[in-house]
Amino acid sequence: MTARPGSASPVDPRTTTAWDRLGALASGFDPDLRGWFAADPGRVERLTFTAGDLLVDLSKSLLDQDVLTALLALADEVGLTARRDAMFSGERINVTEGRAVLHTALRLPADASLEVDGHDVVPDVHEVLGRVYDFADQVRSGAWTGVTGERIRTVVNIGIGGSDLGPVMAYEALAPYRLDGLECRFISNIDPTDAALTLQGLDPATTLFIVSSKTFGTLETLTNARLCRSWLLDGLRSAGAIQDGDTAAGEAVAKHFVAVSTALDKVADFGIDPANAFGFWDWVGGRYSIDSAIGTSLVVAIGRDNFAGFLGGMHAMDEHFRTTDLAANVPALMGLLNVWYTNFLGAETHAVLPYAQLLHRFPAYLQQLTMESNGKGVRWDGAPVTTETGEVFWGEPGTNGQHAFYQLIHQGTRLVPADFIAVANPPYPLKDGDVDVHELFLANFFAQTRALAFGKTADEVRAEGTAEEIVSARVFSGNRPTASIMAPSLTPSVLGQLIALYEHITFTQGVVWGIDSFDQWGVELGKQLAQQISPAVAGDATARDQQDASTQALIDYYRSHRR
CB of 229 to ligand F6P, least distance (A): 17
Q: Is residue 527 among the annotated active site residues? A: yes
| Minimum CB distance to ligand F6P smaller for 95 or for 179 | 95
Contacts of 210 by beta carbon, 8 Å cutoff, 6+ apart: 155, 156, 157, 158, 159, 258, 259, 260, 296, 297
Answer yes or no: are the C-beta atoms of 33 and 453 closer than 8 Å.
yes
Query: Between 93 and 147, whose beta carbon lies closer to ligand F6P?
Result: 93
Q: 172, 372, 391, 396: which one is catalytic? A: 372
d(C-alpha 147, C-alpha 173), whole Å: 32
Kindly provide the residue ranges of all beta strands, DSSP E only, lying in 372-497, ordered along the sequence. Answer: 392-394, 418-423, 431-432, 435-436, 482-487
Q: Which of residues 280-339 bind ligand F6P (CB under 6 A)?
A: 286-287
Least Å distance between CB 371 and ligand F6P? 11
Q: What residues between 491 and 530 interact with ligand F6P by CB under 6 A?
A: 520, 523
Closer CB to ligand F6P, residue 52 or residue 286?
286
Could you say whether residue 161 binds ligand F6P (CB under 6 A)? Answer: yes
Residue 221 is a binding residue for ligand F6P (CB under 6 A): yes
Q: Least separation, in Å, of the C-beta of 159 and ligand F6P?
A: 6
| Interface with ligand F6P (CB under 6 A), residue from 84, 99, 214, 255 | 214
Q: Which residue from 81, 218, 329, 342 is in contact with ligand F6P, where contact means CB under 6 A?
A: 218
Q: How far apart are CA 485 and CA 55, in angstroms?
A: 6
185: left (phi over 0), alpha (psi -120 to 50) or beta: beta
Alpha helices, H only, 380-513: 406-411, 437-454, 458-463, 492-513
Distances (CA, A) of 280 to 326, 334, 445: 32, 30, 39
Rounded to the nearest 10°, the torsion over CA 44, 50, 55, 59 is -20
Closer residue to ligand F6P, CB minimum distance, 255 or 361: 361
Report the residue number, 72 or 369, with the smaller CB distance to ligand F6P. 369
Question: How many other CB atoms sit within 10 Å of the CB of residue 411?
Answer: 14
The reply to whether 214 belongs to the active site is no
* Angstrom distance (rounded) from CA 52 to CA 73: 25
DSSP bridge pairs for 145? 151
Q: Which of 59, 163, 207, 448 binds ligand F6P (CB under 6 A)?
A: 163
Inter-residue contact 122 to 114 (CB < 8 Å): yes
CB of 500 to ligand F6P, least distance (A): 18
| x/- letters, 337..376, toward ligand F6P (CB under 6 A) | -----------------------------------x----
Binding-site member from 31, 52, 146, 162 for ligand F6P (CB under 6 A) = 162
Closer residue to ligand F6P (CB): 79 or 162:
162
151 binds ligand F6P (CB under 6 A): no
Segment interacting with ligand F6P (CB under 6 A) among 36-44, 185-193, 211-219, 272-280: 211-219
Q: Which residues pair with 419 in a beta bridge?
A: 352, 483
Rounded CA-CA distance 3/514 in Å is 11
Nearest to 419 by CA among 394, 440, 443: 394
Catalytic residues: 372, 403, 527
**Binding residues for ligand F6P, per CB under 6 A?**
160-163, 213-215, 218, 221, 286-287, 372, 520, 523
